Structure 1
């Protein structure tokens, strides 16, 4: 069998919903012609979502502290303990930001921060319960396996107890944070103090078993090989296989994004191209047969690439993030407002719809007459870089849509 015939057979099997192996996924990623690869992924998306709807969500990323002991080389956000630029927001400031988010139509908050040396399970219990008590309508889709491991260590409790307690306090869903690159070699190169990729997967599998679903992510472009990128996908699929076998929820979506090179120790020595990103998007849609959703990261790749991804298997454009500090601190400068995001979807030939965390449609914009009219719904780049924003409880200015 020729390589071309082999690729055609794999693409057809993947488009039909069949399972492809990691070795086959690597072959597709490196050798499959771009247009047939994208077409096969698009077939999967159209079969799953024949109504042609592409979703988005309104949420806010709220960082409670930038103090962190992990010191990841790609991170421009963290500050070491006792650093003069370290900060922690009081609960009152976090609740104020939640109130702004609710006023702008947000349905979800992502509470994330550094691995503060003093923050154990008790801190997160108080944080989540305070948000839930004040704003029960907000879904708390927050933290990740790294934070869970850290809080359990600080408090001296088991992972199961930590997850059970923060779930009871109000955590609804776990973000895919901290995945970066899961294979051992690249992970040690960029985050030597962080838990192993295998440990990250173990925490996710346990959370799923305990009834807390999540998303999965991948940061590409820090020097990993093509084979390591596919190995990352394999590790995530193995966790999803456990959830499928157990009959409980696992990963709702997969969200790959590209490393941003500013203000961090890696300094852009390696980066993923837009073509590499789009090829990975398409392969991911074929590889993850039972992870229902695939999200494009327009924040890191730009709106044009995000729109292209809609024709390569993507069914979700993610968030109008009313606040985002971590990736923006590393150089992500792409911004949008709600009208632009809806137009990105519609002009690509799809029907825009606002969703919630569970991907249920809240508002479907079948025609422009159905579009929202609130011009205040605008994404920020790093709020801590805006005058008066982010530190010491000062008010975060909501920028105008224009």
Structure 2
């Protein structure tokens, strides 16, 4: 029988992989949540942060066709699109005027016809039109794909994107950093080693990033623990990760669900356990852990703020990837005031931050 003192002692002694797996599989989720919350309060106190941002996907065309994804369309599909740099600039300026956003979160699919010059024009145009907007851009997966078709090194791609105006990587594409899982959920994407290597390169170049983990599909507990320790090791080497975001898999419109490999969304108990073990493993190495309301829903997000999470990620205006997968909360726009309410209802102090967690403004 796992007791709260067992969890506290494991944390005090420095959690090993073996101990973390034991806690994750044998301890009640409420015990893990309580200790994770105690740890979070020691690290960052009662603040809950988030950025006010707009999400613009430059294209939904993607040749990878991942079974985990409902967002992609093949080239020539009637719903396929590619946004021009001017369209992206227009969206940024509208979001700044209407919502006061400080960050552009921009990702897309693997479009085989795009050139490095397209991205250079896109980022430089945004910076010229709105120099105060932070561009948090492509995932390591996109960097890997485009480097291959452009016959460039991933480091060169990162250098050129940074020169054009890219400020940070979004951290997506990690999914689960285990090859036996990746061959099922993302069979044609790059491998785990490449995600870690490209993230390392970005940090070396001064491009900081978020880091993510997609859970609640075909992974086993040991995959989650292995993923967390890989993220921790990367952060210990580079100190380049700003925020760790566990993302609950939304299955409804994906091939994994249609093929019967996933029966439905993971239970709330797992949401709590994943968030709590993330804090217990990562400790203060990564100070901010996200309660990603677009994947778990706003009600559960508030619960996760009592289980080790202390960041609501962002307002995520115009988020489409989880919307296409069938997330009910992602269908509804949100505001700074609404995210602040989520924090306050569990007794936390909401603060709007910038991308780099250097400016914090308390929401009145």
TM-score band (shorter)?
over 0.9
Partner deviation per Cα, 1:196-217 (whole Å, 9 max, x = no partner): 1111111111111121111111
Which residue does 1:317 correspond to in 2?
A: 312
Shift of 1:288: 0.8
Which residue does 1:63 correspond to in 2?
A: 57
User: Aligned equivalents of 1:70 and 1:114: distance in 2?
Assistant: 8
Alignment of 1:231-270 (within 5 A): 231-243=226-238, 249-267=239-257, 268-270=262-264
Shift of 1:10: 4.8
* Secondary structure in 2 matching 1:167: helix
Asked if the contact 2:179/2:192 (under 8 Å) is kept, the reply is yes
Alignment of 1:358-377 (within 5 A): 358-365=356-363, 370=364
Which residue does 1:11 correspond to in 2?
A: 8
Shift of 1:229: 1.5
Which residue does 2:92 correspond to in 1?
A: 98
Partner deviation per Cα, 1:107-161 (whole Å, 9 max, x = no partner): 1011111110022332221211111111111100111111111121122111111
Which residue does 2:202 correspond to in 1?
A: 207
Asked if the contact 1:55/1:352 (under 8 Å) is kept, the reply is yes
Alignment of 1:81-160 (within 5 A): 81-103=75-97, 104-160=99-155
* Secondary structure in 2 matching 1:80: coil
Shift of 1:361: 3.8
* Secondary structure in 1 matching 2:53: strand
* Secondary structure in 2 matching 1:266: helix
Which residue does 1:178 correspond to in 2?
A: 173
User: Aligned equivalents of 1:324 and 1:304: distance in 2?
Assistant: 18
Shift of 1:194: 0.3
* Secondary structure in 1 matching 2:104: strand
User: In the alignment, is residue 44 of structure 1 matched against residue 39 of structure 2?
Assistant: yes
Which residue does 1:342 correspond to in 2?
A: 340
Asked if the contact 1:221/1:259 (under 8 Å) is kept, the reply is yes
Shift of 1:40: 1.4
5+ long unaligned stretches in structure 1: 244-248, 371-402
Asked if the contact 2:214/2:248 (under 8 Å) is kept, the reply is yes
User: Aligned equivalents of 2:51 and 2:154: distance in 1?
Assistant: 30
Q: Number of residues paired by the alignment? A: 355
RMSD (CA atoms):
1.6
* Secondary structure in 1 matching 2:52: strand
5+ long unaligned stretches in structure 2: none
Asked if the contact 2:86/2:125 (under 8 Å) is kept, the reply is no
Shift of 1:238: 2.2
User: Aligned equivalents of 2:19 and 2:100: distance in 1?
Assistant: 43
> CA, structure 1 residues 116+217, in 2 after alignment: closer, same or farther (shift >3 Å)?
same
User: Aligned equivalents of 1:342 and 1:4: distance in 2?
Assistant: 35
Asked if the contact 1:11/1:37 (under 8 Å) is kept, the reply is no
> CA, structure 1 residues 19+122, in 2 after alignment: closer, same or farther (shift >3 Å)?
farther
* Secondary structure in 1 matching 2:315: strand
